[in-house]
């Protein structure tokens, strides 16, 4: 199990924040031994990945887009209400719709069956 956090400083895009959160969690994980110790032959068929992503607008999450951030396994994604929306800078040239920053929290759980 690993956690990650991601922010979209400009654009207020919960999917971009979610992608960053998942990428952060993946970058801190190490799955040593799946092949060597457990004898897994096919990481895409024998590994299961549960992704829980908390954002301020879970109904806007594009599950297929976020799942692409996970390099292996059969993936299941659940978007829940959470995350943060905090004040930031409003710079229309950067794609901002308002002055907020979207923050997402991801939990990645890996299992083998």
Q: Where along the chain do its domains lie? A: 2-112
Flag residues of the chain having pLDDT under 50. Answer: none
Cα radius of gyration (the chain):
16
Q: pTM, whole model, 2 decimals? A: 0.91
What superfamily in CATH does domain 2-112 come from? Tubulin/FtsZ, C-terminal domain (3.30.1330.20)
Write down the residue that tokens 């110790």 correspond to: 37
| C-beta separation of 51 from 97 below 8 A | no
Distance CA 4, CA 81 (A): 16
- Output the pLDDT for position 30: 80
pLDDT at 37: 74
Query: What pLDDT was estimated at residue 36?
Result: 75
What's the pLDDT tens digit per position in 51-67?
Answer: 999 999 999 999 999 99
The tokens describing 49, both together, are: 């990945």
Distance CA 30, CA 23 (A): 13
User: What percent of the chain has pLDDT above 70?
Assistant: 100
């Amino acid at each position: 199990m690993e956690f990650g956090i991601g922010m979209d400083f400009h654009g207020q895009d919960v999917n971009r924040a979610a992608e960053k959160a998942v990428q952060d969690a993946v970058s801190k994980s190490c799955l040593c031994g799946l092949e060597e110790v457990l004898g897994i032959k096919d990481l895409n068929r024998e590994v299961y990945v549960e992704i829980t992503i908390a954002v301020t607008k879970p109904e806007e999450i594009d599950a297929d887009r976020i799942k692409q951030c996970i390099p292996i396994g059969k993936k299941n994604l659940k978007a829940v209400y959470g995350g943060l929306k905090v004040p930031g800078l409003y710079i229309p040239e950067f794609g901002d719709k308002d002055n907020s920053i979207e923050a997402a929290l991801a939990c990645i759980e890996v299992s083998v069956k």
